[in-house]
């Protein structure tokens, strides 16, 4: 099992947001995490990534209980197993796109794979922007660069938080097509947190957060 959550307890202002929460996601089974604003989607993503700590429960990513690890241990699990597509482009401004991706690989695994970077940039349609600095990229190019940054370390779990919330119909579909196709091409499992109903038809597996309770759809 790629992701397992058992008996999760997490409180906000001493009130339970999650209580007795359980979830399992198998390898290569993409999931959509949906629910209204305030239902806990982003909080759950942060718990899975080890950016927040639960009061109780286990959160296992690739067999490692990230909730039980030290901060350095959590960093290691994120580097080795988790890719995150942020809503804003998080690259080193002084480096071009290709150099940013090389740096991400080196920091994650201690080695580089230039052929993977070339393949990703070509697949995402931004090979011609390999030498562009982050501020020189358009919004669409930046979106694709964010996907490349998340995939360049070959993560087993790729997480995206509201990747289409600010996009129109055409751009939202393009971003989703790229995420789905690239995760399939590079062997990652996709988990998307969103309140964008346009994505629902694309995902047979859905996790619905309602009143802070888990329901599988």
Total domains, the chain: 1
Residue range 179-200: average pLDDT? 90
**Is beta strand 206-210 parallel, antiparallel or unpaired with respect to 31-34?**
parallel
What per-residue confidence (pLDDT) applies to 210? Answer: 78
Q: What percent of the chain has pLDDT over 90?
A: 56
SS3 state of residue 65: strand
Whole-angstrom distance, CA of residue 184 vs CA of residue 1: 18
What per-residue confidence (pLDDT) applies to 124? Answer: 87
Whole-angstrom distance, CA of residue 122 vs CA of residue 111: 21
Under 8 Å CB-to-CB from 37, ≥6 apart: which residues? 195
Which band of pLDDT confidence, cut at 50, 70 and 90, is reported for residue 109?
Answer: confident
What per-residue confidence (pLDDT) applies to 168? Answer: 82
C-alpha distances out from residue 165 to 31, 54, 76, 209, Å:
17, 27, 30, 18
The mean of the pLDDT values for the chain is 89
Kindly tell me if the per-residue pLDDT of 212 is higher than 70. no
What per-residue confidence (pLDDT) applies to 217? Answer: 53
Say if pTM beats, i.e. exceeds, 0.75: yes
Lowest mean pLDDT among 93-102, 139-148, 161-170, 186-195: 161-170
Q: How many residues does the chain have?
A: 217
Kindly tell me if the per-residue pLDDT of 74 is higher than 90. yes
CATH of residue 91's domain is: 3.40.50.300
Range of the domain at 109: 3-216
> Using the 8-state DSSP alphabet, how is residue 198 labeled?
G
């Amino acid at each position: 099992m790629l992701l397992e959550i058992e008996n999760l307890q997490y409180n906000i202002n001493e009130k339970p947001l999650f209580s007795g929460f359980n979830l399992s996601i198998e390898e290569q089974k993409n999931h959509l995490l949906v629910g209204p604003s305030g239902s806990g989607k982003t909080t759950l993503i942060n718990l899975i990534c080890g950016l927040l700590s639960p009061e109780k429960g286990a959160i296992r990513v690739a067999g490692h209980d990230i909730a039980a690890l030290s901060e350095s241990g959590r960093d290691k699990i994120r580097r080795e197993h988790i890719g995150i597509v942020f809503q804003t482009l998080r690259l080193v401004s002084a480096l071009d796109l290709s150099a940013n991706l090389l740096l991400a690989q080196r920091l994650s695994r201690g080695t580089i794979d230039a052929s993977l970077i070339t393949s990703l940039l070509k697949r995402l349609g931004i090979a011609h922007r390999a030498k562009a600095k982050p501020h020189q990229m358009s919004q669409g190019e930046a979106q694709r660069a964010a996907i490349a940054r998340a995939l360049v370390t070959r993560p087993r779990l790729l997480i995206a938080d509201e990747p289409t919330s600010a996009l129109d119909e055409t751009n939202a579909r393009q971003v989703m097509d790229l995420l789905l196709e690239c995760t399939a091409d590079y062997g990652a499992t996709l988990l998307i947190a969103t309140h964008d109903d346009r994505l629902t038809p694309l995902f047979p597996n859905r996790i619905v957060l309602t009143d802070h309770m888990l329901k599988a759809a």
